[in-house]
């Protein structure tokens, strides 16, 4: 299993070389090194996964280096490979390799390419450290490492104020979650005396029913630990309350959104819950809470997704919503289904983002879907890939055969229903509603982008492009063609403004095609391995797998089994009616809904709420502490007051003329003399 | 190495060079100072390599009896070793940082720095309580001069502010020391560390030492001298102030207050926790609203020192080792951050954050190093900042979950103010033409930041090098104070379901 060392550390080396080499190294070299490293890592990861798939591999741990040993608190750098890791390895390295490749085309005009590719590889390294962690602290290292890479990549276009702001927001909001994670690690160490994951999981059941003191009260031990750790997961996976950074993270280049904010990093929270599933299983309260948060997030994010116009934000909210599905699957104990959805989602969501990138590329950086339309003939490959992704996310399929999302999402919904708890059925119905909305907003995106008449003329980006193009032309062709140039804007009454979108180059299309294959087949092919009777063989105890839940899933009413399909069709129908048949319908509905629509459109007002609840007070309190407390009170009655008193005193006494320094030294000397005489006397 | 008085030599080299500098011209003084500090650094490496980990507690001891029990006694344990190595590591960098920016009275300046190095090493290796006191107090005099002569506009105010803060604490500490020597009959620090003072008296002695150490630390609310001093000090002054002088308070706690007055330490632990929580939250919020780079980093230092004090008063191994790691890391990182400020201050002569912006465009290498140190300050795992912060917080969690929770908010607030600073300096567009015209790092500046960067990563990835020398000393200290440790609020109680089984298992294990 020593390939794992290459898989993990090769991207790090590539990142260092490309990052430090930067301009001296040149674009092509930096891109080749990083992309090459990722393809090697990917090529080495699939055999490992396949070995686990056919049951010929065992979980191993490869030690790397001692890290910290402080009393009983010891943890080392080590790489753990088991089934769960193997699944994450293929997801991370495959998507990352394809995103590296795609970025050759997407970032082609970028002046700062080595830096971009170095960040991408750095991210991959950190993510791999996270998924191979054998102890909680190394997981935390990966956790923060991906946070750093995410910060750097969101802020890649750092000249843009909005990008720098979004980068900070992502880091700081994630840190709120990390606070929980960190306290969770401390608590875990306190209870179990170790941070080694296998040791904790082995002992967790024995702690059921014990209590622990926390903030002056006594609680159920495992509930406290699990909830603290889950706060970390909520931050990284953008769950309700700590989700606000994810939509803003779309300020980063689109390949970044595909890799980090869709396929890999944001799923770290789900991975963590699955990795620690034997621990979470010991606290029904924590499991109920996870189910609730997941279900609420999947519903809430979907509502916002229905109203947004920015193509990337729609997909971002969609990601948030799909992560909600994974969490409530974990919450009802269907960890296998959660991982299965994580796996399929990685392919189809990366695909959707990369397709969006291709559209944005074709439309000269325009991201507003109101200015799209009629693109399917212009960029056919992108269109078909996007369609494949949409079929996958909406879960099209019947009689056990369908696109990727059909298999994984249905298994989640069935598990929620089959769990039989009231929170489980709450999650089921939330999931059904969300599935309706998923279908609606996904098809809405496709219809707005690819169908109907072109609406490009009003876009500033397009106008800019056309202007630029014409000026360019007239420069080349001289004054003779001037009339033609003017003709360009006015005469195109077809909404195109004379703009001609081009299909992306093959380096961008190839990843789309490969991911499309994943989006179509990943569910069908791997369903047996991830979620079915006998799947325990595959997981080999890497996560908790309930065979009885699988049995119960088979036993749920036929209507409930068909429910996802029904709502999916309904969503498609509404989207078709609203965006193809009767295009004035959505505006009418929005008007009818009035404040409700505004509330949802403005993202449930979370940003405003947090701004006035946390950001403004923090700055205000900071100012008050500084001006009033430090300067107004402490200094005034402390040193300044003393100085004033000394000055007053000295003017009366007229004794001390030497300045403070000397009197200080004098006092010290006198003190020493006193000391010595005391000792001699004593 | 036995017999060779390496500690005395390490103190003598900068002292002799420092005195010589006073009479040399600028160029010669610079060269001599650099050579002397490099020799001391080399000696520091020798010291480290020859330190016997797991050997005697006190090594490299020297003792010359002077009179009536007062002696010139030196010796180090692992804790002192690390702080000495930090000192001699930072000194050449300080000389380098002053190479061009100091152009008046260079000889005196270098002299002050070198003499300060002697005194700082003295603080960490003195084994006689009065010798310690002498070094401890005298070490600050060169710092006053550096601020007062080579400082900024309000240098006099800054210098006397510190003087007023220090005065009271020092006098009280001296009185306490006199009493202790009187009662215990010895000035020998190792002996005093094992002496059991009457718990009632301990309270007063502890408070007297606290008055001095809390100011040096500095702890909230006696911290206001620090922003003033940092803002006025020249770059190298800030580096050494943050890097080493702030560590003397922590060293004092770990060497005197905790082992000599364990009962009193336990009694006052809640006070320390309270002040630390206040330090972390309040000074972090203040750092958020600063417009002056140096003031921002100065306030962040106070917040970091809050993490040191909770670690010290967690009464367990993780807390103690964590607080030492925070001190070492902060020495590197805060020093490096002040250096980063100095590098651009040398170019634009302003500390006002708003005058910069978009430096990642014209100074990409600088931006990279600044980012690394920013991340280390935030405590990103893999950098030095994480290890100490994590261990300290883990330590305090075991004893006070409230304190752990409040102080852990420092990781959020720290990220907020540091990234906000980084954004305003390195990100954004190039608003100011003069800032946009600044050149990237030159060779001299590389020589200063690269060693710091490597040290920061080393300490983050393989901290064992730094934990190993102090492990036995921390264990001894923990053994001395653990009996008095206040009871934690997070004890696990095994529930009703299976108490019999658990108890049986426990007894079996014993």
Q: Which of B159, B285, B397 sits opposite A618 (nearest CB)?
A: B285
Q: How far is B110 from chain A (nearest CA, A)?
A: 20
Q: Which region among A380-389, B185-194, B454-463 has the lowest average model confidence (pLDDT)?
A: B185-194
Longest CA–CA separation in chain A, Å = 110
Provide the pLDDT for residue A666.
Answer: 62
CB contact under 8 A, B288 and A634: no
Report the alpha-carbon angle A187-A193-A199, nearest 5: 100
CB A643 within 8 A of CB B310: no
B366 touching A (Cβ < 8 Å): no
pTM of the model: 0.91
Question: What band does B259 get if pLDDT is binned at 50, 70 and 90?
Answer: very high
A16 touching B (Cβ < 8 Å): no
B27 touching A (Cβ < 8 Å): no
Three-state DSSP class for residue A58: coil
Burial class from Cβ neighbours inside 10 Å (0-12, 13-18, 19+) for residue A217 reads exposed
Q: How far is A349 from chain B (nearest CA, A)?
A: 29
CB contact under 8 A, A660 and B391: no
**Number of C-beta neighbours around residue A291 at 10 A:** 25
Neighboring chain B residues of A195 at a CB cutoff of 8 Å? none
For residue B460, the chain A residue with the least C-alpha distance is A67
Provide the pLDDT for residue A471.
Answer: 58
CB contact under 8 A, B492 and A212: yes
Provide the pLDDT for residue B505.
Answer: 40
Structure tokens at A76: 């080392």
C-alpha B410/C-alpha B377 separation (Å) is: 11
Structure tokens at B314: 């967690």
CB contact under 8 A, A190 and B398: yes
Alpha helices (runs of H) in B185-223, residue ranges in sequence order: 189-194, 199-216
CB contact under 8 A, B428 and A161: yes
Q: Which of B166, B286, B464 sits opposite A622 (nearest CB)?
A: B286
B490 touching A (Cβ < 8 Å): yes
Q: Are strands A211-214 and A217-220 parallel, antiparallel or unpaired?
A: antiparallel
Neighboring chain B residues of A631 at a CB cutoff of 8 Å? 224
C-alpha B461/C-alpha A229 separation (Å) is: 24
| Structure confidence by residue, pLDDT tens digits, B236-257 | 999 999 999 999 999 999 999 9
Neighboring chain A residues of B491 at a CB cutoff of 8 Å? 212-213
The pLDDT of B159-178, averaged and rounded, is 79
Residues 6+ apart with CB under 8 A from A628: none
Q: Which of A148, A155, A671 sits opposite B375 (nearest CB)?
A: A148
Q: How far is B41 from chain A (nearest CA, A)?
A: 26
Neighboring chain B residues of A618 at a CB cutoff of 8 Å? 285, 288, 413, 416
C-alpha B425/C-alpha A418 separation (Å) is: 55
CB A271 within 8 A of CB A342: yes
Strands (E), A3-158: 60-70, 73-81
Neighboring chain B residues of A621 at a CB cutoff of 8 Å? 285
B323 touching A (Cβ < 8 Å): no
Question: In Å, how far are A642, B147, B155, B459 from A663, measured between CA atoms?
Answer: 15, 18, 18, 42
CB contact under 8 A, A175 and B404: no
| Structure confidence by residue, pLDDT tens digits, B48-107 | 999 988 888 899 988 888 776 678 899 999 999 999 999 999 999 999 999 888 888 888
CB B300 within 8 A of CB B411: no
Q: How far is B254 from chain A (nearest CA, A)?
A: 17
Which among B377, B288, B378, B309 is positioned nearest to B339, based on CA atoms?
B377
* Exposure string over B223-239, b if 16+ CB within 10 A, otherwise e: bbbbbbbbbbbbbbbbb
- pLDDT, averaged in runs of 10, over chain A (682 residues): 88 94 87 94 94 86 92 91 92 95 90 92 95 94 94 92 92 93 94 92 86 85 93 92 90 92 92 94 93 94 92 93 94 92 93 94 88 88 94 86 89 91 92 94 93 85 75 47 43 73 89 93 86 77 83 85 91 91 85 85 85 87 84 76 67 50 61 62 52
Structure tokens at A573: 């129908």
Provide the pLDDT for residue A676.
Answer: 60
CB B244 within 8 A of CB B236: no
Percent of chain B with pLDDT over 90: 57
Q: Which of A175, A186, A207 sits opposite B411 (nearest CB)?
A: A175
Question: In Å, how far are A180, A242, A281, A638 from A233, measured between CA atoms?
Answer: 9, 10, 16, 46
Q: Which region among A245-259, B263-277, B395-409, B424-438 has the lowest average model confidence (pLDDT)?
A: B424-438
CA dihedral A129, A130, A135, A136 (to 10 degrees): 140
CB contact under 8 A, B166 and A65: no
The pLDDT of B360-375, averaged and rounded, is 93
Provide the pLDDT for residue A50.
Answer: 92
For residue B418, the chain A residue with the least C-alpha distance is A168
CB B245 within 8 A of CB B136: no
Question: In Å, how far are A44, A211, B323 from B499, measured between CA atoms?
Answer: 49, 12, 37
> Could you tell me the sign of the dihedral formed by the alpha carbons of A322, A325, A329, A330, in that order?
positive
C-alpha A434/C-alpha A432 separation (Å) is: 5
Q: How far is A236 from chain B (nearest CA, A)?
A: 14
Q: Which of B185, B401, B498 sits opposite A209 (nearest CB)?
A: B498
Q: How far is A514 from chain B (nearest CA, A)?
A: 35
Structure tokens at B426: 């390195």
For residue B429, the chain A residue with the least C-alpha distance is A159
Ordered by start, the domain boundaries in chain A are 3-237+250-455+501-594, 606-681
For residue A664, the chain B residue with the least C-alpha distance is B167
Question: Residue A209: which region, alpha, beta or left (left: phi > 0; alpha: psi -120 to 50)?
Answer: left
A615 touching B (Cβ < 8 Å): no
B436 touching A (Cβ < 8 Å): no
For residue B317, the chain A residue with the least C-alpha distance is A71
Neighboring chain B residues of A69 at a CB cutoff of 8 Å? 464, 467
C-alpha B253/C-alpha B314 separation (Å) is: 13
Residue A533 backbone phi and psi in degrees, to 5: -60, 140
Calculate helix-pair angle for A83-106, A27-53, nearest 10 degrees. 150
CB A518 within 8 A of CB A404: yes
Q: How far is A138 from chain B (nearest CA, A)?
A: 9
CB contact under 8 A, B286 and A626: yes
């Amino acid at each position: 299993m020593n390939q794992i060392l290459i898989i993990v550390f090769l991207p790090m080396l590539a990142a260092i070389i490309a990052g430090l080499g930067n301009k001296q190294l040149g674009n092509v070299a930096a891109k080749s090194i990083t992309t090459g490293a990722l393809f090697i890592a990917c090529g080495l990861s699939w055999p490992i996964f396949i070995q686990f798939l056919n049951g010929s591999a065992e979980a191993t741990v490869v030690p790397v280096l001692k890290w910290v040993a402080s009393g009983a608190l010891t943890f080392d750098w080590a790489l753990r490979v088991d089934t769960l890791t193997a699944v994450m390895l293929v997801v991370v390295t495959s998507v990352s390799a394809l995103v590296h490749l795609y970025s050759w085309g997407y970032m082609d005009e970028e002046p700062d390419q080595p830096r971009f590719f170095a960040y991408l590889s750095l991210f991959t390294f950190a993510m791999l450290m996270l998924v191979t962690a054998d102890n909680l602290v190394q997981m935390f290292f990966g956790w923060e490492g991906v946070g750093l890479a995410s910060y750097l990549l969101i802020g890649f276009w750092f000249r843009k104020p909005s990008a720098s702001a979004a980068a900070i927001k992502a880091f700081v909001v994630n840190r709120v979650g990390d606070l929980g994670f960190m306290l969770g690690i401390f608590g875990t160490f306190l209870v179990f005396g170790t941070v080694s994951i296998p040791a904790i999981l082995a002992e967790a059941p024995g702690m059921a029913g014990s209590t622990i003191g926390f903030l002056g009260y006594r609680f159920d031990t495992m509930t406290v630990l699990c909830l603290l750790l889950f706060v970390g997961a909520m931050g990284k996976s953008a769950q309700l309350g700590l989700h606000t950074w994810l939509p803003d993270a779309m300020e980063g280049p689109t390949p970044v959104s595909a890799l980090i904010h869709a396929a890999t990093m944001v799923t770290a929270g789900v991975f963590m819950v699955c990795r620690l599933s034997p621990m979470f299983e010991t606290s029904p309260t924590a499991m109920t809470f996870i189910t609730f948060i997941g279900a609420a997030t999947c519903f809430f994010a979907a509502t916002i997704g229905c109203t947004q116009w920015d193509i990337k934000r729609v997909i971002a909210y969609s990601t948030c919503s799909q992560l909600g599905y994974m969490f409530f699957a974990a919450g009802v104990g269907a960890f296998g289904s959660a991982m299965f959805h994580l796996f399929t989602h990685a392919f189809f969501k990366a695909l959707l983002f990369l397709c969006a990138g291709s559209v944005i590329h074709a439309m000269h950086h325009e991201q507003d879907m109101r200015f799209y339309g009629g693109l399917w003939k212009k960029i056919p490959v992108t269109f078909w890939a996007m369609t494949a992704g949409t079929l996958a996310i909406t879960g099209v399929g019947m009689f056990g055969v369908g696109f990727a999302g059909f298999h994984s999402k249905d298994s989640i919904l069935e598990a929620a229903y089959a769990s039989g708890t009231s929170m489980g059925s709450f999650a089921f119905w939330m999931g059904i509603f969300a599935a309706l909305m998923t279908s609606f907003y996904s098809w809405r995106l496709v219809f707005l982008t690819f169908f109907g008449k072109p609406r490009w003329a009003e876009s500033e980006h397009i106008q800019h492009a056309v202007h630029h193009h014409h000026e360019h032309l007239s420069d080349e062709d001289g004054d003779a063609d001037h009339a033609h140039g003017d003709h360009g804007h006015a005469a195109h009454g077809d909404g195109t403004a004379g703009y001609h979108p081009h299909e992306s180059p093959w380096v961008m299309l190839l990843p789309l095609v490969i991911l499309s294959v994943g989006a179509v087949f990943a569910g069908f092919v791997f369903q047996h391995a991830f979620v079915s009777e006998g799947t325990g063989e595959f997981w080999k105890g890497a996560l908790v797998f309930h065979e009885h839940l699988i049995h119960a899933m088979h036993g749920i009413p036929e209507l409930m089994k068909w429910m996802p399909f029904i709502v999916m069709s309904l969503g498609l129908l509404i989207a078709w009616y609203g965006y193809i048949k009767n295009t004035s319908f959505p505006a009418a509905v929005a008007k009818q809904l009035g404040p409700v629509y505004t509330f949802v459109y403005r993202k449930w007002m979370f940003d405003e709420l947090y701004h006035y609840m946390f950001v403004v007070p923090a700055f205000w309190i900071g100012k008050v502490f500084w001006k009033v407390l430090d300067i107004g009170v402490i200094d005034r009655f402390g040193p300044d007051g003393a100085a004033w008193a000394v000055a007053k005193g000295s003017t009366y006494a007229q004794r001390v003329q030497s300045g403070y320094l000397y009197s200080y030294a004098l006092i010290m000397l006198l003190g020493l003399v006193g000391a010595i005489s005391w000792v001699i006397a004593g | 190495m036995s017999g060779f008085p390496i500690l005395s030599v390490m103190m003598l080299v900068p002292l002799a060079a420092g005195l010589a500098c006073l009479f040399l011209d600028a160029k010669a003084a610079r060269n001599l100072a650099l050579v002397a500090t490099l020799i001391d650094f080399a000696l520091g490496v020798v010291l480290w390599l020859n330190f016997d980990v797991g050997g005697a507690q006190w090594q490299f001891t020297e003792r010359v009896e002077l009179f009536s029990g007062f002696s010139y006694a030196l010796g180090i344990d692992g804790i002192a070793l690390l702080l000495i190595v930090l000192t001699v590591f930072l000194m050449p960098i300080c000389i380098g940082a002053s190479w061009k920016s100091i152009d008046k009275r260079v000889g005196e300046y270098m002299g002050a720095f070198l003499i300060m190095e002697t005194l700082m090493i003295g603080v960490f290796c003195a084994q006689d309580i009065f010798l310690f006191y002498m070094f401890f107090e005298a070490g600050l005099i060169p710092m006053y001069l550096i601020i007062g002569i080579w400082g900024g506009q309000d240098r006099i105010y800054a210098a006397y502010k510190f003087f007023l803060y220090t005065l009271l604490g020092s006098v009280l500490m001296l009185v306490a020391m006199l009493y202790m020597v009187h009662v215990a009959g010895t000035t020998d620090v190792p002996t005093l560390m094992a002496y059991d003072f009457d718990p009632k008296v301990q309270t007063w002695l502890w408070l007297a030492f606290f008055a001095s150490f809390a100011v040096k630390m500095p702890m909230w609310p006696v911290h206001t001298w620090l922003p003033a001093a940092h803002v006025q000090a020249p770059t190298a002054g800030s580096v050494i102030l943050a890097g080493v002088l702030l560590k003397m308070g922590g060293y004092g706690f770990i060497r005197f207050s905790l082992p000599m007055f364990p009962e009193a330490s336990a009694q006052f632990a809640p006070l320390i926790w309270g002040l630390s929580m206040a330090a972390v939250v309040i000074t972090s919020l203040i750092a958020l609203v600063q417009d002056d780079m140096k003031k921002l980093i100065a306030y962040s230092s106070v917040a970091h020192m809050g993490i040191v004090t909770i670690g010290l008063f967690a009464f367990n191994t993780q807390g103690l080792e964590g607080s030492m790691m925070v001190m070492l890391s902060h020495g590197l990182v805060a020093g490096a951050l002040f250096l980063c400020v100095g590098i651009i201050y040398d170019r634009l002569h302003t500390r006002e954050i708003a005058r910069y912006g978009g430096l990642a465009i014209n100074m990409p290498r600088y931006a990279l190093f600044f980012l690394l140190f920013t991340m280390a300050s935030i405590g990103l795992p893999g950098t030095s900042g994480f290890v100490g912060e994590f261990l300290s917080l883990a330590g305090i969690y075991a004893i006070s979950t409230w304190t752990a929770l409040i102080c852990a908010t420092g990781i959020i607030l720290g990220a907020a103010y540091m990234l906000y600073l980084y954004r305003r300096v390195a990100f954004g567009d190039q608003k100011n033409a003069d800032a946009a015209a600044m050149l990237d790092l030159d060779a001299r500046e590389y020589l200063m930041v690269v060693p710091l960067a490597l040290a920061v990563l080393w300490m983050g990835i393989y901290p064992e090098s730094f934990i190993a020398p102090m492990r036995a000393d921390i264990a001894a200290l923990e053994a001395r104070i653990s009996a008095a440790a206040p009871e934690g609020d997070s004890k696990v109680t095994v529930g009703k379901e299976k108490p019999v089984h658990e108890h049986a298992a426990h007894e079996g294990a014993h």
